[in-house]
Amino acid sequence: MDKEALKELLNDMSLEEKVMQLVQIPGSEYDSDAEITGIERGQAKDRVKRLAGSTLGIWGSRRLRKIQEEYMKEHPHHIPLMFMLDVIHGHKTVLPCPLGQGATFDPDAVRKGAALQAMEAAADGVHATFSPMADLCRDARWGRIMESTGEDKLLNSFMAAAMVEGYQGGDLKDPAHIDACVKHFAAYGAAEGGRDYNNTELSEHTLREYYLRAYGEAIKKDPAMVMTSFNSINGIPATGSTFLMKKILREEFGFKGVLISDWGAVGELINHGYAKDQKDAALKGMTAGVDIDMCSGCYSGYLEELVKEGAVSHEMLDEAVLRVLNMKNDLGLFEDPFRGLDKESAPVITKEGRLLAREAVAGSLVLLENKEKVLPLKNEKNAFIGPFADTKRLQSSWAFSGEDDNTVSVWEAALEVYGAENIRTAAGCTMFDQDAVTARGIRHLDNWQEENERLLREALETAEWADTVVLCIGEDSTQSGEATSKVSLQLPAVQLKLINEIKKTGKRIVTLIFTGRPLELKEVRELSDALMICWLPGTEGGHGVLDVISGKTSPSGRLPVSFPYTVGQEPLHYDAYPTGRPKPEKGPFEYTSRYLDCENGALYPFGYGLSYTSFEYYDAKLSAEELSANEAITASVRVRNSGNTKGSVTVQLYIRDVTGSRVRPVRELAGFKKISMDPGAEETVSFEIKEEMLRFWTAEEKWESEAGKFLVWICDSSVGGKPLEFSLR
């Protein structure tokens, strides 16, 4: 439909029809099997169900076709219904959780993964996903850190932009692609105390310098939607903030698409104390520029009345409705309302999709320790022990359209690699402590004590048989994600007991940590001969893990987020500001910025990760000592694979602005390149440094660079390397 025809349609619609295009209701109103996360079933009135512009949480070609047919038959203008779904890190083929994808430092792989998700979801009738999450996350207490790609604004920017490109492709009418939704606007990841839905308090400098950057880069890729966040920012709920939604998002970022609230967020303006009732919430949501009210009932209940009263202008309403109609038109729904609904069967997990997922898993694994080169694991007597050793629950709580039956467990993959005669398995303990609290309440077993005593005995017998124990432990998928904030980052006590008991056998221990967030691992590090972060790896988790621990692939993942010594350090991030009394490398330490009982920095810092081979960095240099506004200088380093194994390494560029009108971080990631090298091979890795890379939100509240001295590191983590120096004229 061309633009003129679309406007004619808009002008012919009744006021009620227009309002209802801005209303989204749960898929459970159309099908009782829909996934819901925050509302009781059957709450929508018949007229809302008949006219609502979109729905969510429902998929499946057959049932969506039936719903679309019935909906369009009833709709006065036969405008198609739009189906949206949380396709966060996989639909049927589930990839590593987004935090794990961040660990790949590979935007191209992330783009391909998003394209796979889009293809599968589109084949199941889905039109739009609520992804990527571009929130900057620096607090491991916040459960939704697993849905981010980490603590760094540059890495997040690359990853969020890549996901938008992967989901949407070059043409949204292509039935293999779906709409992307950049979320949560804005600064949801900075919730106070790491507690979900909580207030965020940020200066405008910090908001602009750090928290808005990834959203802005993703929006440059023209996503169809942006989602508001639940939190308030500096005392104003984001969903009602004209500063965020109009000044920043629309005017400065130039976003032209649809702005949708998060689930119930318009109605929650009342709970925040920002709106007095649902009618007032609808007014404030519309005034802020929210186009679609997701599941709060405020727009469906009161927006028509507000327009009739003149509180909301017809022009404001029409602008919002036209954006929604354009979104449907861009998908080709007016020409083909059954887009993706013609197939009789659900999307099939393909061999190619599994291979892509398997490679993504292998690329996401981060090797933290490898004492005495225990890994790769030899083909001898190996025991796979722990609650993650033989489970298919390897995807996060945000992959509910995926199916455990399709997942390859660690044990299944180990059987393929080593054969049944050389390996054994035992659970060792339950996944949870006796009274563990998860997103769905307290997990309690009446016979918990007896069960764990039995499992431990079996594990110790299995360990005694083995030469090496591969301990598979971590947090269950229900312990990270939305509404899973925690004040403890320790592994379950029952799992820590297991590793301590296994240690007493004297056997080598390779510890694999499955998690959606950073954890405290100091004790585990001391007890393990090798230690690897496996995240929540998804459908091909077992194969990807075995590819790495067997040596088929050398580990190449890097931490996208700092792992603390203790939760008391949170929020923790590498790009901190210097203080007036920095802690020196050597004493005296009195009256300096430090903890009495802990290091300042991370146990494992951002950018860190080991390989089965070794890499030497030498001959680091800059092409010039001065940089002017219209020029560029090149930072380069020679990298040599000095080991005996082929491997990949992520070469990282960090820059520090030594003196500025605002205090600048001790270092910031300015670039990264992932290279693969054979043993003995050498390569020059170069980065171009331009003036625009040095800009920041100055004391004059402008995006500018400032003349002065800059330090440059080309290294393998956020704490490595020796600095080079140049000046900006």
Active centre residues (catalytic): 262
State the Cα–Cα distance between residues 369 and 390, nearest whole angstrom.
Answer: 23
CA 549 distance to own-chain centroid = 25
Phi and psi angles of residue 499, each rounded to the nearest 5 degrees, phi first: -65, -35
Residue labelled with tokens 């309440």:
441
State the Cα–Cα distance between residues 482 and 437, nearest whole angstrom.
Answer: 14
State the Cα–Cα distance between residues 424 and 465, nearest whole angstrom.
Answer: 9
State the Cα–Cα distance between residues 197 and 481, nearest whole angstrom.
Answer: 12
CA 302 distance to own-chain centroid = 35
State the Cα–Cα distance between residues 611 and 642, nearest whole angstrom.
Answer: 12
Alpha-carbon distances of 402 from 96, 100, 333, 342, 496, rounded to whole Å? 12, 17, 26, 21, 30
Q: What are the residues whose beta carbons fall under 8 Å from the beta carbon of 483, sequence distance 6 or more? A: 143, 196, 439
**At 8, which amino acid appears?**
E
State the Cα–Cα distance between residues 302 and 387, nearest whole angstrom.
Answer: 51
Q: What are the residues whose beta carbons fall under 8 Å from the beta carbon of 177, sequence distance 6 or more? A: 115, 118, 119, 122, 167, 168, 169, 171
Peptide bond connecting 588 to the previous residue in cis, omega within 30 degrees of 0: yes
Q: What is the CA radius of gyration of the chain?
A: 26
- For the four alpha carbons of 23, 294, 94 and 403, in that order, the dihedral sign comes to negative
Strand residues in 376-450 grouped as ranges (E) = 382-385, 423-426, 436-438, 441-443
Provide the angle, in degrees to the nearest 10, between the axes of the packed helices 448-465 and 493-503: 30
Task: Let me know if 113 is exposed, middle or buried by CB neighbors in 10 A (0-12, 13-18, 19+).
Answer: buried
Q: What is the DSSP string of 17-42?
A: HHHHHTEEEEGGGT-TTS--SSS-TT
State the Cα–Cα distance between residues 657 and 578, nearest whole angstrom.
Answer: 11
Choose among 550, 653, 560, 144: nearest CA to 366: 560
Dig out the tokens for 594 from the structure: 């430090």
**Strand 366-370 with 530-533, pairing:** antiparallel
Alpha-helix residue ranges (DSSP H) falling in 207-277: 213-219, 242, 268-272
Alpha-carbon distances of 312 from 206, 306, 309, rounded to whole Å? 33, 6, 8
What residues are paired with 508 via a beta bridge? 468
Element containing residue 541 per DSSP (H, E): helix 541-549
Alpha-carbon distances of 311 from 26, 139, 302, 306, 602, rounded to whole Å? 28, 41, 11, 5, 52
Residues in the chain: 729
Choose among 569, 637, 572, 621: nearest CA to 597: 569
Element containing residue 305 per DSSP (H, E): helix 298-309
What residues are paired with 512 via a beta bridge? 472, 532
